[in-house]
Amino acid sequence: MQQQDDLYDVVVVGGGPAGLTAGLYLARARYRVLILEKADFGGQITITAEVVNYPGVATTDGKKLTATMRQQAQDFGAEFKTAEATGFEVDGDIKTVHTNRGDIRTFGILLATGATPRKIGFEGEEEYAGRGVAYCATCDGEFFSGKEVLVVGGGFAAAEESVFLTKYASKVTVLVREDDFTCDGAVATEAKNNEKIDILYQTELKAVSAGQGGLTEATLLDRTTGQTRSWKPADGGSFGVFVFAGYVPQTQDVKDLVDLDPYGYVKTHGYLETSVPGIYAAGDLREKNLRQVVTATADGAIAAVELERYASEMSKKTGLLPPRPTESAYEQAEAKAAASAAAEGTSPAPAATPAAAAGSAGSGFFDDSIKQQLNVVFGKMAQPLVLQLDLDGSALSAELKTFITELVSLSNGKLGLVINQDEGDPAVFDPAAPLPDARPCVRICKADASGKPVPTGLAFHGVPSGHEFNSFVLALYNAAGPGQAVDADTSQRIGQIDQPVDVMLLVSLTCTMCPTTVLSSQRIAAENPQVRAEAYDVSRYPDLKDQYGVMSVPCIVISKPGAEGQPAAQKVEFGKKSVPEMLDLIAQA
């Protein structure tokens, strides 16, 4: 056998539960596997706030679940790359996956690109996306507190999310095209029996229109009579629309490669092989009758085992051998445990139970478990930082001061603190400014030779708790160095930004998609001083919400200086963004 360093046994296209599971199985079996993902690893499940039906896990959220999957695959030696597959050459024993970051040679390919929420095409859907039309109840439900909402759809998601939305909305009206829900009866019954939910069967949403402050009117079609009518909320105010009409398979790039069914899903056979030898499909992009995270992981495992067999056969046939993952974290831990047992004549001690590992609850904002994790981050920081607090006389400022003071006390000297206190009323700020001076604010700074804090361009307005806590801690790590690794191509793109760019990020502490966008923007700002990226808890600053008509988060406002005598250029975008996607937005602004 001749080893080929540029060859993989399998390339997995898609980093959701199916792809991550396949990577775990293949790497554990000592095959060289690369998982490609064009955006964020984890897939659609990462926007789910509560997962309670994954076997063996009582309750978690989608982001944590898939983060664990990725770590498991990585520990076994799976490789990861953020890149978009742009084409395939599949003739012959060695296939080529073309990407926007170069070509990759492999024996086998697993398609696991999943599916994205379906847009149904009513008038105003595109125009008001993020300004009244939404697709994620967890992320955007709070924007409609006390308002009525329409839910479009008759499946599992529509039934379940309509119940979730009653936490915020004054009333939920579900529009179902058919005579009844199409999901499990138990899920539908919960929606049917909720006093805050009305259900209109045989009804379609045809159009929405807006006035000052949001959506004001909807046009509904009665499929039984063919008549349309106007619908408005009872209080005559604005309302929201949440679309849960299924998903669209992400197969447009393989429609000329493998056989698809009439709906665009990949056709697979007994063990998930496609119409092309050596190409398999797993997860939500393939035709099947149930699309859940548990079925995606099952698909990934089945396809991985088949690809092991296929790659082994191709290796024997060609005489070529991809390098094996022999230095994985799993193997190192096993070797260390074996050496320890041999030296001491004992077996390794079992891992601590979750209850024992957690210890007693700590005081203040941070319990013992979080303190342990913070110690790891602080220990890796290459240089100390200074946190500058810009405060006013509000209760929120007092909360931020307590929060950051406790964080600094836990940093083992890695964080200093400077407080700029204005005891007056909450500061008035200009919501139209590229980065409004909204207080309270914590700015991440470095100290100059005299010890004076010098802003890095990273800041959070409000209290960085909830889902934003992790992104704030990682912002510290990125600002202090060495920071989260980015590939050479991405680093080069960051360095090529040669003019000032201000990125304002309007977020919610309950949003599971916001931290990724904040982290991506601030990772760029940490490496290039031309970029400033500041996050704002939009629930605390209604002037910003009104300025940009925000009814969906994250909302991204990118500002660049205009030509001489011209106003600044500004671009407003919504949705979760990876570092490469943020770089694309900055380039387009």
pLDDT 10s digits, 545-581:
989 988 889 999 999 987 666 777 899 999 889 999 9
Report pLDDT for 10: 97
pLDDT for the residue numbered 48: 67
What is the C-alpha separation between 585 and 554, in angstroms, rounded?
14
Query: What's the whole-number mean pLDDT along residues 372-397?
Result: 91
Note the CATH number of domain 133-245. Answer: 3.50.50.60
Which pLDDT score is estimated for 280?
98
**What pLDDT score does 205 carry?**
97
pLDDT for 336 equals 62
CATH topology classification for 2-116+249-329: FAD/NAD(P)-binding domain (3.50.50)
pLDDT digits (tens, 9 = 90+) for 451-498: 789 999 999 999 998 888 889 999 999 999 998 888 888 999 999 999
Q: How many CA atoms lie within 13 A of 24 on its CB side?
A: 21
pLDDT value of residue 346: 38
Each residue's pLDDT tens digit, 224-238:
999 999 999 999 999
- Bridge partner list, 11: 34, 109
pLDDT of residue 443: 97
Q: Taking residues 361-366, report their average pLDDT.
A: 55
Average pLDDT on 323-352 reads 55
- Please tell me which residue, 345 or 287, carries the higher pLDDT value: 287
* For range 1-7, the mean pLDDT: 86
Q: What is 368-588's CATH number, 3.40.30.80, 3.40.50.300, 3.40.630.10, 2.102.10.10? A: 3.40.30.80
Nearest to 464 by CA among 481, 442, 445, 435: 442
The model's pLDDT over 204-230, given as tens digits with 9 standing for 90+, comes to 999 999 987 789 999 999 999 999 999
Residue ranges per domain, the chain?
2-116+249-329, 133-245, 368-588
Q: For a pLDDT cut of 70, what percent of the chain falls above it?
A: 91
Task: Give a three-class secondary structure readout of 324-379.
Answer: CCCCCHHHHHHHHHHHHHHHHCCCCCCCCCHHHHHCCCCCCCCCHHHHHHHHHHHH
Residue 35: pLDDT over 90 = yes
pTM of the complete model: 0.59
pLDDT digits (tens, 9 = 90+) for 134-160: 888 877 888 899 999 999 999 988 998
Distance CA 548, CA 542 (A): 10
**Whether the domain at 2-116+249-329 and the domain at 368-588 fall into the same CATH topology:** no
Work out the mean pLDDT of the chain and round it to a whole number. Answer: 88
Share of the chain above pLDDT 90, in %: 64
**CB 10 within 8 Å of CB 107:** yes
- Of residues 344 and 94, more confidence is placed in 94
Lowest model confidence (mean pLDDT) among 257-271, 350-364, 433-447, 473-487: 350-364
Q: How high is the pLDDT of residue 349?
A: 32
State residue 339's pLDDT score.
Answer: 52
Which tops the pLDDT comparison, 91 or 369? 91
Angle CA 461–463–467, to nearest 5: 105
pLDDT at residue 313, rounded to an integer: 93
Return the pLDDT at 77. 92
Most confident of 6-20, 27-41, 362-376, 551-565: 6-20
Query: What DSSP line would sit under 48-78, residue for residue?
Result: -S-B--STT-SSB-HHHHHHHHHHHHHHTT-
* Contact (Cβ atoms closer than 8 angstroms) between residue 130 and residue 124: no
